[in-house]
A and B are shown apart, each in its own frame.
Chain A
Amino acid sequence: DGGITQSPKYLFRKEGQNVTLSCEQNLNHDAMYWYRQDPGQGLRLIYYSQIVNDFQKGDIAEGYSVSREKKESFPLTVTSAQKNPTAFYLCASSIFAGSNQPQHFGDGTRLSIL
């Protein structure tokens, strides 16, 4: 089945540590997105990528980094500079950006601080 796979489902970070969240899609979509979800808030965009080797900052990019070396993969690194990383992180993809096509979501990674 085609879809988006996020791993791990749960992740714990120690103070001062960088952690990387995985996002893989086999939908052959060009565009990929990372969102952060906090209780009582909508999804907030961290980074997005319209094409391989290119990505743009979203509304809350500080303390995060991404790479897009392959079409299928868009990992998110939560760096030690992100002081409040506890949240539910969602990865999404769409056929291509600007297409007014729906975004398809993975099942998320819940990140907590130890």
Chain B
Amino acid sequence: GENVEQHPSTLSVQEGDSAVIKCTYSDSASNYFPWYKQELGKGPQLIIDIRSNVGEKKDQRIAVTLNKTAKHFSLHITETQPEDSAVYFCAASERDQFYFGTGTSLTVIP
């Protein structure tokens, strides 16, 4: 089955700096890669996603890049703000199941 690895597990940045979270996957058949943000005591919320026919996607301060050959994808958050502090999960999907990374706890220091 699919195996998704996510790094780093914790990340601290100064407000205004950029944050990058990286994920790798093992199954070349995976073709959909969402990113979720989870705040304490809440369910994950989709923040951005990318499909395998696209190399990069951007939505305001958030961007995701995908390298199908190397089987890795990354989340980039620019101009970080304290409200960006949360746990971020990547996932890879092929057909009807999602496989999640172990999460990155991001802390933005004011």
Contacts and interface: CB of A to CB of B under 8 A. Distances in A.
Contacts of B95: 97-98
B32 A100 contact: yes
Contacts of B89: 42-43
Contact of B96 (A6, A40, A97): A97
B46 interface: yes
A108 B96 contact: no
Given A31-B96, A50-B96, A100-B32, A40 B44 contact: no
A42 B96 contact: no
Contacts of B6: 42
B94 to A, nearest CB: 9
Contact of B49 (A4, A97, A102, A104): A102
B26 to A, nearest CB: 14
A11 interface: no
Q: Is the interface of B mostly helix, strand, loop or mixed?
A: strand
B97 A45 contact: yes
A58 B34 CA distance: 20
A97 B96 CA distance: 5
Contacts of B98: 33, 43, 45, 103
B4 A42 contact: yes
Interface string B22-43: 0000000001101010000111
27 contacts: A4-B43, A6-B43, A33-B98, A40-B103, A42-B4, A42-B100, A42-B102, A43-B44, A43-B98, A43-B100, A45-B98, A48-B96, A50-B96, A59-B1, A97-B95, A98-B95, A100-B32, A100-B51, A100-B93, A102-B34, A102-B46, A102-B49, A103-B34, A103-B98, A104-B46, A105-B36, A108-B41
Interface of B: 1, 4, 6, 9, 31-32, 34, 36, 41-46, 49, 51, 89, 93, 95-103
